Structure 1
Amino acid sequence: MVIEIERKFLVTSDAYKKEAFKKAHIIQGFLCTHKDRTVRVRIKEENGFITVKGISSDDGLSRFEWEKEISKHEAESLLDLCEPTIIDKIRYEVQVGSHIFEIDEFLSENEGLVIAEVELKQESEVVMKPEWLGEEVTGNLKYYNSQLSIKPFKQWR
């Protein structure tokens, strides 16, 4: 069993783009968006993945995660079975101190939303916060990708 520990933040500027050491296009959909579990299909550049995530802890910091690499062709076939809406985003990776922030710039139905995530080894870990990091939204369900597929950012206004 793998437990994922991460914090999520809104992003206040595009300054992270100059600091990024990696950039990738990601398309993903959800086969299941049940509140106790999600099953995600993802294409990241030329690779496919299927991921199962469990229910989050009360504070939203940690949850079970299992991921397996599959072929891009298999992922494309599974995307056809996914619930609407497909998530389309550009992911930037930025090193800040000893951590790597993954900043997702959402496109399509979620355009205008930018979220940074940082994975931790333990919940009490201290994270250096870059100047472009805004409000923490860890545990706020509406910012989960599975929920953005149900109620996209463009529908919030």
Structure 2
Amino acid sequence: MTGDPERRPNRNSRFTQESYVVSADLKLIQTPTTRQAVNVPIMVFAAGRAWASLLPTQDVEVTGRLARPTPGTLEAATLLARTPPRVLSPPSALQTAAGTLRAGLRSAADVLPPDQRGLLPGLVVGDVSRMDPQVTADLKEAGLSHLNAVSGDNPICQPFSGV
């Protein structure tokens, strides 16, 4: 995984599982008859709480279906995950520390009212996973939606996709 799993809002009330999107590097494709080593960037769409605690630099195994990438992106493909991730390796020490800092910031923000709870992590480290949809819409309408992306550029707290 090269990024943090981002929780996506459920747009359809029939689906009760949390859904996530995460950037990753596909390293191995295995079918019943073939096994091919590759190294290409992909975007993973997945469901289930198991994705929430994963961190960049972790290797996971998942069964899914490869699809065409979203036009205009740099990914080689989109992976629609059908199974929960099976963790193959722990995150790096740096990502563990950064994940701990981000989790501490989310925890500290828990005392705030619900509509403000996601704003603090969004502004400080670009973590918009708990951003209230109305606050997001208000920021966009006011022309301030860039604050989450710009503030999230803090290299200490953001995922590092290194060697």
Q: Same fold (TM over 0.5)?
A: no
Greater fraction helix: 2
TM-score, length basis structure 2: 0.28
Larger Rg: 2
Greater fraction strand: 1
TM-score, length basis structure 1: 0.28
